[in-house]
A and B are shown apart, each in its own frame.
Chain A
Amino acid sequence: MKSNQRGAVATKLALALLFLLGLALAYQGLSAQKSYNESGFSAEGAFQAIYHLSEQVESDWNELLRPGLEALPEEKQAALDALAKDLLTAFWRERAGEGAELSDFLPQEGDREALHKLLYISYTVGGPKVSASVKKAVENGGAEVSAALLLAAADESAPVPESAEAALKKLDGAERQGMLMQLYYRSLARSSAIKTEDVNSFKKGVRDKSMQLNALRMIAGRELTPLRQFIASRSRTVILAGILLALDALALAFMMGADRVWRFDFKWLIILAIVDFLLLFQLMPLIFTIVKAFFPDGHFSMETFRRLYSYSLNFGALKNTLAAAFATMLLGTLFAFPLAWLVGRTNLYGRQFFRSLFVLTYMVPPYVGAMAWLRLLNPNVGTVNQWLRALLHLGSTPGPLNVYSLPGLVWVLSTFYYPYAFITISRAMEKMDPSLEEASRAAGASPLKALLSVTLPLMTPSLISGALLVFVSAASCYGIPSIIGVPGRVHTVTTRIVEYVSLGQQGLNDATGLSVFLLALALLILFVSDIVLEKRQYITVSGKSVQPALVDLRRFRLPLTILVSLFAVVVILIPFATIFATSFKIDVGKSMFLKTNFTLSNWKTIFGRSETISCLKNSLLYATVTATVGIIVACTMSYLLQRTRIRGRKLPDFLITLGSATPSVVIALSLIMTMKGNFGVNIYNTAYIMIIAYLIKYLMMGMRTVVSAMSQVHVSLEESSQIAGASWLRTMFRITGRLIFPSIAAGWFLIFIPSFYELSMTTLLYSSTTKTIGFQLYEYWTFTSQPMACAMAFGILMFVVLLNFLLGRLTRGQFSI
């Protein structure tokens, strides 16, 4: 007992220290930040401003400046040192004004490195002006010109390269030598590490000259200790890390205190790591977005909302979103329920085939459907319209059907979101005790009567939850309205958000107002759906389900099968065939069977263009990283949820569920607003921000799969391995891992596939180097060529089908989507 108590005291002490360390870090960061914000004589602030620049100067010094300098004879080097000192003094004298005590700031003559670096920075930031033609000439001059320029600067009598002569006219003495140095630096510019943007941000960051001066002194004199330099250069990150550290220590103390076990458990570290990740990249951005909407300039104001919704375009978008989502919910459920019943509970011909077919649609990128229906129902050249006009002798007026309308949008949304309801309902159907239906038949009810009086009421919870899922998915969809709605002036909240984001800072603020609406809608529905289903159970899959007796459709068997087939043809076959056919066309309005209209060039182009290849590489890479990181987190979470009783394990579970319920555009917007350095993390325009967004959105898909698999592995299977002498790790690999491997693989693919072709978040987060295949397709569709986009879409489709096949193989048919 004694030693336990001592351990407890040590643990408490360690936690307290951790907490204080966190606070100290946050304080240090804050004070560094404050000194940066105050424009004044502040060493840290100045240092922070030039931090990035100085790092680059370091590499320029090593790779360009020092080699050039050391290539000169000894006495020329000394002459250059003296010149640098003179030029520096002149340069800063001009800026600091008379009276300023320069000797404090400028390096002494002996400190060659400091002298040259400081001059280099000074001239990079604001050296003598050089005309564009000379600049170009010296930049292209190569190493010889550089060497000659340096020599001429060191020795006034040395010859000057021809290309530089124009700049030296009318100059003499110090001015001439200064210009030579400037030209020398210019000639190096091509291989220099310093980027123009950094110079500009440096100029902006170091607002007044005294600060510039001080900043330069920092580089030259290295007055800050390395620790202070570290804090100053990353003050926001340090604040963030400090706050998180303090929070973690508090959380640990809370968890240990609640259990009264003051013993450190490694699992807490894992939980904290996941929670910290989600807090930082999911919750904090979301909260910031909401706060920003209500406090646009630091004070509470409904101004953003007033401005937004008094603009008829936005108000219309709001109405469109609600109307489209509601209609899609009705239509989608109307498709889904009879299909789920026919496929799940009756002796329909080919029910297994239809089942996998309808579920497969779930994995198709929604924008592909939009593209197909656009080709079919375009008022002028849509295939269906052309047929109808020919059939009804309507002449050449546009129509009769127009996809660019609210009903068009609803139709396409419905054909792509009904699988959501279908999956939810058919799962419930398969679990329903068939004897309930049989009892109703025994009591004398017809199959239809039994369906309506027993099955339907029993299915109500899953029917509602499936319908709500369709509603919220349709409301947060961007891919379909961006392709169909925008050209038809049928705006939705998601398309408006994306448009606002492209408008810059003010647009971002307005986008938050729209996002809050979308987010509130999604969370409300998550909440309602949870109440309807009470609690989603993962375990429902387990247990030996009775194979339900099938309802005999008798004389309706064939007609109903034909009806279902017809539905499949209209909703799946025709759109995909259209995509396929369009990919071989030159003129989208004409048949592909015309000799003059058939081409393979679209396919050649998409497989040949280096840009497409690099987008494909990006997509594969990001999706692989997302799926791999995601599945590791999913496995860890499953273990915590299924195998431990550790306090706090539900928190990451909740956050992950919340993340997946958040509309994609809202996730992307909130990341844009918080991840560009203003909170200490700058991943804007990088691949990381995209991977993080995908993770937040799709992590739950993988987690659910693994959790439900692990819940079916009885703990005693693991315990008997431990009893046999196997370590925890070995048990995990040889027993649990092996048993749930199919689910781990399935979970990986469930994260991989949607990340691979993602569009909504990518549209907001991509940069020129991080374009993905989904975005590229969208660009092709909108700006380049629809047939080419169709070729890409079909390629993506084939890839998804291939992955699905692979998954079925890998898991011996246990899983395929």
Chain B
Amino acid sequence: MIRIKNLVKSFDGTPVIRRFDAEFQDAEFITLLGPSGCGKTTILRMIAGFEIPSSGEIWFDDQLVAGGKAFLPPEKRSIGMVFQSYAVWPHMNVYDNVAYPLQIRRLPKDEIRAKVEKILETVHLAQYKERLPSQLSGGQQQRIALARALVAEPKILLLDEPLSNLDAKLRESMRFEIRDLTRALGIAVVYVTHDQTEAMAMSDRIFLLNNGVIQQSGSPDEIYNKPVNPFVADFLGKVDFFSGTAADGQIRIPAWNAALPLPEDAQQGKVILAVRPENIRIRKPGGGIPGTLSRMVYLGDTTDCRVTVGSATVRVVADGAFRRAFREGDAVSLEILEHMVFPDDGSTQEQLRIRT
């Protein structure tokens, strides 16, 4: 279990992490998600011990590893870590790279051999153990790094954007490999990424950060479907925002010249309406909100549509067969299946602009 209390970090007086509190359970897959510069890597490096917190505490089980005067250097923390650049040592072959952590722990030779061969088997590199890293592909180097991080059987594995240098196909398959492997080993994983799909696919819990502050934490389902603010809604998945006014159980959206029902727990006054394109159905005119199908792009499994409603344009994701029933210029009617409402305190634009 990793406990992080009141973690603050600034570089040369500029705060990078304003405040971070969290508890990561054993065998939990945690993702730190956020745009670049949000501080996620800094948190990971503080857990690893490469950065010293400006204040706050980090505990591994009952051991204080950073905080106050206490500081445990990285080499004493018994963790595994995979770097964005893989950091596979170019002067050692695959076997030596992976054996290194065990050699440092002064394990007997045959035990090292057995463990290294087992882990290389697991990551499908057994036949390459005599090769130098430069003779292997990016995906294979990635797996060396993973094997090296896991060979000493750490209780915590840290991954710093490990898939960002791989091509799309490989990235997808590595996602599952990493997920399955760590689950089988039952170790806690802290995974840093800016890719929301990765986060959704792999995590037990996601911590979404922006500007050094946690925006929301929870399961992928919670974060996607119950975002606490427009930033979260925008960062995960696609979403369109419209400003409106909530009163008498209704939200009026001036741009649409229409109104939607107000969820029970939502507040009154100026609000922001957020709608995800996949939560809108396009129907033949009649009922719902009237509009015009202005553009249609066929993407195979889906069809990406733009519908003009009043003075606004709404994105809609329809299925692949949709294009047979409609053509551009048709009058349509929109049915909103789900929508989210956030209070409008005037900061929304600013929040969204932060996204890079």
Contact = CB atoms under 8 A, between A and B. Distances in A.
A726 B90 CA distance: 17
B152 A724 contact: yes
Interface of A is mostly: helix
Interface string B48-80: 111000000000000000001100011111111
B91 A720 contact: no
Given A4-B69, A720-B145, A723-B74, A714 B104 contact: no
Given A725-B78, A726-B104, A739 B90 contact: yes
Contact of B81 (A714, A723, A728, A739): A723
Contacts of A7: 69
Interface of B is mostly: loop
A728 B148 CA distance: 18
A721, A722, A724 interface centre (most CB from chain B within 10 Å): A724
B14 to A, nearest CB: 13
B69 A739 contact: no
A725 B152 contact: yes
B104 A719 contact: no
Contacts of A727: 75
B295 to A, nearest CB: 38
A738 to B, nearest CB: 5
A321 to B, nearest CB: 47
B104 A722 contact: no
Given A716-B84, A724-B152, A725-B101, A739 B78 contact: no
Contact of B75 (A3, A723, A739): A723
A639 to B, nearest CB: 16
Contacts of B104: 724-726, 730
A720 B152 contact: no
Given A725-B101, A725-B104, A725-B152, A719 B75 contact: no
Nearest to B13: A260
A28 to B, nearest CB: 38
Interface string B24-60: 0000000000000000000000001110000000000
B48, B68, B84, B100 interface centre (most CB from chain A within 10 Å): B100
Contacts of B100: 721, 724, 726, 734
Contacts of A3: 68-69
Contact of A1 (B49, B68, B87, B89): B68
B322 interface: no
A170 to B, nearest CB: 87
Contacts of A738: 91
A79 B74 CA distance: 78
Nearest to B48: A723
A327 B145 CA distance: 58
Contacts of B326: none
A720 B84 contact: no
B68 A719 contact: no
A735 B87 CA distance: 11
Interface residues of A, number: 22
Nearest to A735: B89
Nearest to A719: B50
Contacts of B77: 723
A717 interface: yes
B246 to A, nearest CB: 46
B20 interface: no
Contacts of B145: 720
A728 B49 CA distance: 13
Contact of B87 (A4, A714, A725, A730): A714
B285 to A, nearest CB: 56
A247 to B, nearest CB: 26
Interface in A1-39: 1, 3-4, 7
Contacts of A721: 89, 100
Contact of A719 (B76, B83, B90): B83
A719 B87 contact: yes
Interface string A626-670: 000000000000000000000000000000000000000000000
Interface in B140-161: 145, 148-149, 152, 158
B105 interface: yes
B149 A722 contact: no
A774 B172 CA distance: 66
Contacts of A728: 73, 75
Interface in A703-740: 714, 716-717, 719-728, 730, 734-735, 738-739
A717 B89 contact: yes
A728 B104 CA distance: 12
B85 interface: yes
A745 to B, nearest CB: 15
A730 B83 CA distance: 20
A728 B79 CA distance: 16
Contact of B85 (A716, A723, A739): A716
B148 A724 contact: yes
A720 B68 contact: no
A722 B87 contact: no
Contacts of A735: 89
Nearest to A731: B75
B105 A739 contact: no
B81, B89, B101, B152 interface centre (most CB from chain A within 10 Å): B89
Nearest to A738: B91
Nearest to A723: B81
Interface string B94-126: 000000110011000000000000000000000
Interface string A736-769: 0011000000000000000000000000000000
Contacts of A723: 48, 74-75, 77, 79-81, 149, 158
B87 A720 contact: yes
B90 A724 contact: no
Contacts of A714: 85, 87
A725 B152 CA distance: 10
Contact of B73 (A1, A716, A722): A722
A534 B158 CA distance: 40
Contacts of A724: 75, 100-101, 104, 148, 152
Nearest to B80: A723
Contacts of B149: 720, 723
Contacts of B83: 716, 719-720
Nearest to B69: A3
Contacts of B84: 716
B89 A719 contact: no
A265 to B, nearest CB: 12
A4, A723, A727 interface centre (most CB from chain B within 10 Å): A723
23 contacts: A1-B68, A3-B68, A3-B69, A4-B69, A716-B87, A717-B89, A719-B48, A719-B74, A719-B81, A719-B83, A720-B81, A720-B148, A722-B73, A722-B74, A723-B79, A723-B149, A725-B105, A725-B152, A726-B104, A728-B73, A730-B104, A738-B91, A739-B91
Given A723-B74, A739-B89, 14 more contacts: A714-B87, A716-B83, A717-B89, A719-B48, A719-B83, A719-B87, A720-B81, A723-B75, A723-B80, A725-B104, A725-B152, A734-B100, A735-B89, A739-B91
Interface of B: 48-50, 68-69, 73-81, 83-85, 87, 89-91, 100-101, 104-105, 145, 148-149, 152, 158
Query: What are the 10 tightest A-B residue pairs by CB atom distance, in nearest-first order?
Result: A724-B101, A716-B87, A716-B83, A720-B87, A723-B81, A722-B74, A725-B104, A722-B75, A717-B87, A725-B75
